[in-house]
Structure 1
Amino acid sequence: MTRPPSRPVTRLRDIAPAYRLFFVDQFGVLRDSQAAYPGAIEALRQLRAEGRKVVIVSNSGKRSAPNEERMERLGFERASWDLFLSSGEVAWRMLAARPASERPKRCLILARDGDVSPIEGLGIAVAESAAEADLVLIAGSEAPDRTLADYQALLEPAAARKVPALCINPDMTMLVAGGTAFGAGRIARLYATLGGPVTWIGKPYPEIYRSARAIVGLDGPALGIGDSVEHDIAGAKGVGADAALVLAGIHAGEEDLEAVYLKEGARPDHVLERFVW
């Protein structure tokens, strides 16, 4: 479509009529780590009221259900979306599709709060260390409490044995209180440099979008809305959807977005100051 406007579009209603399906990011668009953004609850509700299909597509390493429960606690209504699909959910479905005999036996999980939902009910034990793991699941970063050097020391025994890793949260940067920190994607990149094989699940990789379309059963014009050029904008453009960048997340205060577009090789079709109707 067209190049982004010279000044941000301030209302979602200006662009919504052109699309049937919306891939909406969670963190940095609808909410931060503490609360819903002003106007986001109503904007999501209004999209559904207009008859649009809404899929919340998140790089959360947790499965969809705990994400939806958190959204409800923040005041969002489940009726405001047709599907919530997290990268953790996609990973669980991929592992569940394997015969039980072909699933890993012991999994080392890296997560912020000890979440093990991506392997629940699959007969996979939690490994106590990288030395005994036959799968590494990179679901979250504990930065700034842990450094990349801490993660390197933790993961080297698994990387040396070429233990496969699933990165189910490809975000390189995450929002934390007071700013940003390195995300799970940086840990996965580190693991790859140590020689460990990594499979990436989530935005900008196409499988999560394909899974979402298959579940909702809808083709036609789609718009991806997110706050990350690297993940949300590149991901949407990579599967043939249009993209809208929201400036309330990790690019808030960015002085040279053109440089970001060039670096990531992706340019949004629209720019929104916030996710408001």
Structure 2
Amino acid sequence: MTRIINALAEVSADYDVLFCDLWGCLHNGVAAYPAAVAALRQFRATGGQVVLLTNAPRPWKYVAAQLDRMGVPKDAWDVIVSSGDAAQDAMFSGAVGRKVWAIAMEKDEGFFTDIPAEHQNAPAIQRVPLDQAEGIVCCGLFDDETETPEDYRNWLTDAQARGLKLLCANPDLIVDLGEKRLYCAGALAEFYEDLGGTSLYFGKPHAPIYDLARKRLGLAADARILAIGDGIPTDVPGARMQGIDALFVSGGLAFDQFGDDIENPEAAMLEEWLSMRSEDPKYAIGRLR
């Protein structure tokens, strides 16, 4: 049974490392949560290490710049590992060919232009129209404020008929930007699979992003890790498949499912909701603090 806690400090002494999600846990896409920042800083002050593990479809340095703009201090984390980092490695390795149709916004430009050092000598990735593509790279929607996956039906039906694979740079389905809910690349990847296509994933809950996090931090095999996140399709099953404990932030994407007080989820409602999804994280908390 999932134990509801009031603060990270109640359990943090049992862990060496946090794998902490960003959107919905540390910020809402517009501003940082001060209590969450304070909790991470306190954990590091006691000798712990923090990996900010995010399904953002951009290389980590762009994530760091966004956090700077939100006022998240650098002493709240040790390293950032993004789905974009793991997916970039796959793209430059040729997972979906060298000529790709890119579904991305201007803010995702670095995914294609910032070539990691280990791939500097690899053949170039060319962005081409769909009818010339060997594969698809999806960082998100062209306009995530107005579009839905249904707007891509004709394009993706054509791609599926040609047998193109879709590399998904962000397995998240949705995020909340302030008060507005937006579709992510994962929603398009799932839609493509519903059409009979093949999608490739590298962010949470899939293994590559966790492997990269361990590598960047140089973690020992016996490191005690706690994964923090609000994503039942991503953060919680990812932790389970990695054999690490999870702290579910109920006040994130599912904030309206556990009673009127976001900070204090109703235990019975939480247990029923998790049971219906066949998940049993070790801990839950209303908001990270």
**Same fold, TM-score > 0.5, yes or no:** yes
1:209-248 mapped onto 2 (5 Å cutoff): 209-218=210-219, 219=221, 220-248=223-251
Residue equivalent to 1:132: 132
d(CA) in 1 for partners of 2:208, 2:277: 19
1:248: Cα distance to partner? 2.5
Aligned match for 1:251, one of 254, 258, 261 = 254
Gaps of 5+ in 1: none
1:176-195 mapped onto 2 (5 Å cutoff): 176-195=177-196
Residue equivalent to 1:271: 284
- Sequence identity (%): 29
d(CA) in 2 for partners of 1:146, 1:207: 29
d(CA) in 1 for partners of 2:271, 2:2: 11
- What letter corresponds to residue 103 of structure 2 in structure 1? L
Relative distance call for 1:250 and 1:50 in structure 2 (3 A) is same
d(CA) in 2 for partners of 1:230, 1:196: 20
Residue equivalent to 1:116: 109
Residue equivalent to 1:16: 12
Work out whether residues 137 and 168 of structure 1, in 8 Å CA contact, stay in contact via their aligned partners in 2: yes
- What is the root-mean-square deviation in Å for CA atoms of aligned residues? 2.0
Relative distance call for 1:41 and 1:115 in structure 2 (3 A) is same
- What letter corresponds to residue 270 of structure 1 in structure 2? Y
Residue equivalent to 2:71: 75
Work out whether residues 103 and 124 of structure 1, in 8 Å CA contact, stay in contact via their aligned partners in 2: no
Work out whether residues 139 and 169 of structure 2, in 8 Å CA contact, stay in contact via their aligned partners in 1: yes
Q: CA deviation digits over 1:50-95, x for unaligned, max 9? A: 1111111101111111001110111112232221000001111233
Output the TM-score relative to the length of structure 2: 0.85
1:205 aligns with 2:203: no
Aligned match for 2:274, one of 254, 261, 271 = 261
d(CA) in 2 for partners of 1:205, 1:262: 22
- What letter corresponds to residue 140 of structure 1 in structure 2? G
Work out whether residues 160 and 194 of structure 1, in 8 Å CA contact, stay in contact via their aligned partners in 2: no
SS in 1 for 2:101: strand
d(CA) in 2 for partners of 1:110, 1:45: 36
SS in 1 for 2:100: strand
Q: CA deviation digits over 1:213-248, x for unaligned, max 9? A: 122121321100001122111111110100001122
